[in-house]
Structure 1
Amino acid sequence: MSGWFIAAATARLFGAGGPVPLGPPETQSSEADLLCAALDAAPRATFRLAPPTLHLGQPQPVPAFETLTGGTTGRPRHIRRTQASWIASFEINRAAWSLGPNARVATLGSLAHSLTLYGALEALHCGAEAHLLHGLRPDRQQAALVARAITLLWATPSQIRLLTGPPAPSVTRLLIGGGVLDAASEAKARALFPEAQLYSFYGAAETSFITIDGAPYPGVTLDIRNPGPDGAGEVWVRSPYLFEGYGSTPDPQRDASGFTTVGERGHLTNGLLSIVGRADRAVRIAEQTVQLEAVEAALLALPGVTEAAVIAQPDAKRGNRLVAAYSGTVAPEALALTALPPLARPRSLTQIAPEDWPRRASGKTDLAAIAARLQADEQSEEARRTEERSDEATG
């Protein structure tokens, strides 16, 4: 097994426009070119793909590379890990998913996102076809999946929600991660890929795979620490797939037993892990704890809603109040929030057009941008009300 990333002899690479020769590229004008350049540099330099740029650093004692965290709740951080930490799982997946010359693997997002980079590198390392469909509109991505007879697709729930077009029956394995797979997105995935075995995986840029369909990924050990009254506690992970640190800083959470955490809360039931949400997205409202991800999931379950983000704002009486933004085809006044407890219902709903939905380079929702927009909207509304009151007083 190679200690660095390679493109096996049978591997083939395709960009959005078609085949791309493997080997040192003449230019770096596309993400496929950047991937070829990264593979060329892999044995001798620490690389980081940041389209439209490839950054090359000094070699490490063992072949290494960098990716970015998703950055949903803050500024993305540089992740440093050994190439072997991903290659170890390549070998597991090669056997489990029959990755080889007959596999045609597709990714939908930018190579700046670690999920996309992983899927592409794994396909090439295992001698399969890698199809990079980033840059195509979602309807054209779906058409390409059909036309190219893709057999395995890596996607996030957000990417699934955006896809439109005829079903792709050639897809026999569908790997969805990078976010909570809500019921509506799962139903759409099964309609678009009727022959696919669907795997919902959980992990992070720092940890790589943690679970698939709730069960620990091979080689992963889980530990739930400091559980609360609901049984949910901090999720700690130990595995051969962990990162080394942030930039030049070692992993600040790694303990003496080799476990680390990325701040998620969850609980184990009959050996299966259920994620409640991030600890920093659990807020107190009138002495009750509300997990913001649960409110977002409730919004996404409503017909016509394709994206949702919930923000906590300070409230003098209750400690916090919730406001939300969403994208979809339904008007705010038509959204029924009765399934949520009263304290968990957003006090305002702001509709954002799909093309304007704030996203990080990873493709995930930019919650900081959403929060800034909702705060600005609230300030504008308060200024309008103040002006109206002033006009009434002087009129």
Structure 2
Amino acid sequence: MGKGLRWRGPVLADDRGTIRHLQETVTAGGGVRVGEGAVCAIAPGWIECATSGSSGAPKRIRRTVVSWTTSFALNAKIFGLDARSVVALPGTMAQSLTLYAALEAQWNGAALVDLSVHRGDRQLAHMARWGTTHVYATPAQVEVMLKGQGGCPSLRYWIIGGGRLSADLRARLALRVPQARIMQFYGASETSFITLDRGDAPEGSVGRAYPQVEIAVDAAGELRVKSPYLFTEYALGSSPDTCWHADGFLSIGEIGHVDAQGFVYIRGRKGRIVQVLDHLVSPEPAEARLADWLGCDVAVVAQPDPLRGARLWAMVGEGPAPEAVEAALVRLRQELGAVASAHGWQRVAPFPLLPTGKPDIRALEARL
């Protein structure tokens, strides 16, 4: 298969010119670095891209080309990617998900369409115009795209990364593109693919291990991963939660478990767990439920409290009426209990988001 990148497919739309820059870099035989949308060449055999920075300063990941091309070949079979495919890119190259989708498409000879120049609510119409067959997108991007009209009859696979689709959003997406398979993967910039949900995962699960991935859980409930897709090092920045282990496994601070059928469940990031009274609580289960029920931007953040240790607050974007938010908080307490639920809520407008569409937790904590 070789250790370098290759460019095999056509470019159908590239209004920003970013794909052309990527093509020139790949064709010249160099490695690729992408930061803030700019593409430049680095030493052959390497790829560098940024993390989302959802809970801290963004970092730059350095990985081998092979750590991505290995999954390119697998996904060609899983998602049916070939020279007849048309892959749409809703985000910019600053997102590692977009960079991955572009390089994977070209590796497999597929055509590329850059949608990032278009408003999100118009991207679905442009996907239909170009006969798109595959698209990688985050849940935040899906939410905006569904605000537009129409569907995309040519679409065969809608692949979700960068977050978990809520049940409501998945149902709305399925109605808009009923002929397409909706596949979700869980991973991180450091790990690439960890699990894949082919549509058979139980509620709350992120699917089973992606091919060639080993998943272990240590005594503290932290997930460890070993695979051919792991990154090499941080080219910029660091993370206290990222740890290489002597047996070749990598942990990145995710807490969860694996059931008897091999389905993986994620409780949340170790770095976001707080102490409420005598309990260690992750705000992410509350966050996911509220986002699902309210259908808007939501984040649950911790406020220090001298008696309780911390109190959880729901930061809610524009959309739902106050009584709907209050009703959701009551339901949340019924499902998760008072300790793991939001103590109160605060409207935030405009809601601070990172370029990936994820909530900017640090900015929201400052607002609280």
> TM-score, length-normalised on structure 1?
0.83
Q: CA deviation at 1:248?
A: 7.4
Q: Aligned residue for 2:160?
A: 176
Q: Aligned residue for 1:205?
A: 189
Pick one of 229, 242, 247 that aligns with 2:235: 247
- Contact kept, 8 Å, 1:244 with 1:250, in 2: the verdict is no
Structure 2 counterparts to residues 14-93 of structure 1, below 5 A:
14-15=12-13, 17=15, 30-41=17-28, 43-44=29-30, 46-57=31-42, 59=43, 63-93=45-75
- Contact kept, 8 Å, 2:283 with 2:301, in 1: the verdict is yes
Hey, what's the Cα distance between the residues in 2 that align with 1:91 and 1:105?
16
* Aligned amino acid, residue 13 of structure 2: G
Structure 2 counterparts to residues 134-173 of structure 1, below 5 A:
134-163=116-145, 164=147, 165-173=149-157
Structure 2 counterparts to residues 335-374 of structure 1, below 5 A:
335=325, 336=327, 337-341=329-333, 342-353=338-349, 356-374=350-368
Structure 2 counterparts to residues 298-377 of structure 1, below 5 A:
298-303=289-294, 305-335=295-325, 336=327, 337-341=329-333, 342-353=338-349, 356-374=350-368
CA deviations on 1:118-177 (whole Å, 9 max, x unpaired) are 111100110001222113111210111222221111111111111122122321111111
Hey, what's the Cα distance between the residues in 2 that align with 1:179 and 1:106?
19
Hey, what's the Cα distance between the residues in 2 that align with 1:73 and 1:38?
31
- Contact kept, 8 Å, 2:37 with 2:93, in 1: the verdict is no
* Aligned amino acid, residue 148 of structure 1: W
Q: 1:297 to 1:95 in 2, by over 3 A?
A: same
Q: 1:75 to 1:51 in 2, by over 3 A?
A: closer
* Aligned amino acid, residue 189 of structure 2: A
Give the share of equivalent positions with the same residue, in percent: 36
- Contact kept, 8 Å, 2:59 with 2:237, in 1: the verdict is no
Q: CA deviation at 1:71?
A: 0.7
Give ranges in structure 1 of 5+ residues lacking alignment.
18-28, 228-232, 375-395
Q: CA deviation at 1:95?
A: 1.9
Q: Based on CA coordinates, which of the two structures has the bigger radius of gyration?
A: 1
Hey, what's the Cα distance between the residues in 2 that align with 1:352 and 1:100?
44
For the residue of structure 1 that corresponds to 2:7, the secondary structure is coil
Is 1:263 matched up with 2:243? no
For the residue of structure 2 that corresponds to 1:210, the secondary structure is strand
For the residue of structure 2 that corresponds to 1:76, the secondary structure is coil
Hey, what's the Cα distance between the residues in 1 that align with 2:137 and 2:237?
30
Hey, what's the Cα distance between the residues in 2 that align with 1:74 and 1:287?
26
- Contact kept, 8 Å, 2:86 with 2:133, in 1: the verdict is yes
Is 1:296 matched up with 2:281? no
Q: Aligned residue for 1:223?
A: 216
Once superposed, what is the RMSD of the aligned Cα atoms? 2.0
Hey, what's the Cα distance between the residues in 2 that align with 1:40 and 1:152?
24
Q: 1:322 to 1:240 in 2, by over 3 A?
A: same
Q: CA deviation at 1:38?
A: 3.1
Q: CA deviation at 1:327?
A: 2.1
- Contact kept, 8 Å, 1:120 with 1:131, in 2: the verdict is no
- Contact kept, 8 Å, 2:18 with 2:39, in 1: the verdict is no
* Aligned amino acid, residue 340 of structure 1: L
Q: CA deviation at 1:332?
A: 2.9
- Contact kept, 8 Å, 1:167 with 1:194, in 2: the verdict is no
Q: CA deviation at 1:37?
A: 3.3
Hey, what's the Cα distance between the residues in 2 that align with 1:160 and 1:16?
21
Q: Aligned residue for 1:120?
A: 102
* Aligned amino acid, residue 343 of structure 1: V
- Contact kept, 8 Å, 1:67 with 1:112, in 2: the verdict is yes
CA deviations on 1:1-37 (whole Å, 9 max, x unpaired) are 13111111xx1123354xxxxxxxxxxx632233223
For the residue of structure 1 that corresponds to 2:303, the secondary structure is strand
* Aligned amino acid, residue 316 of structure 1: P
For the residue of structure 2 that corresponds to 1:246, the secondary structure is strand
Hey, what's the Cα distance between the residues in 1 that align with 2:134 and 2:268?
28
Give ranges in structure 2 of 5+ residues lacking alignment.
198-206
For the residue of structure 1 that corresponds to 2:248, the secondary structure is coil
For the residue of structure 2 that corresponds to 1:14, the secondary structure is strand
Q: CA deviation at 1:205?
A: 0.6
Q: Aligned residue for 1:392?
A: none
* Aligned amino acid, residue 221 of structure 1: E
- Contact kept, 8 Å, 2:14 with 2:20, in 1: the verdict is no
- Contact kept, 8 Å, 2:268 with 2:282, in 1: the verdict is yes
Aligned length: 348
Q: 1:14 to 1:359 in 2, by over 3 A?
A: farther
Q: CA deviation at 1:360?
A: 2.2
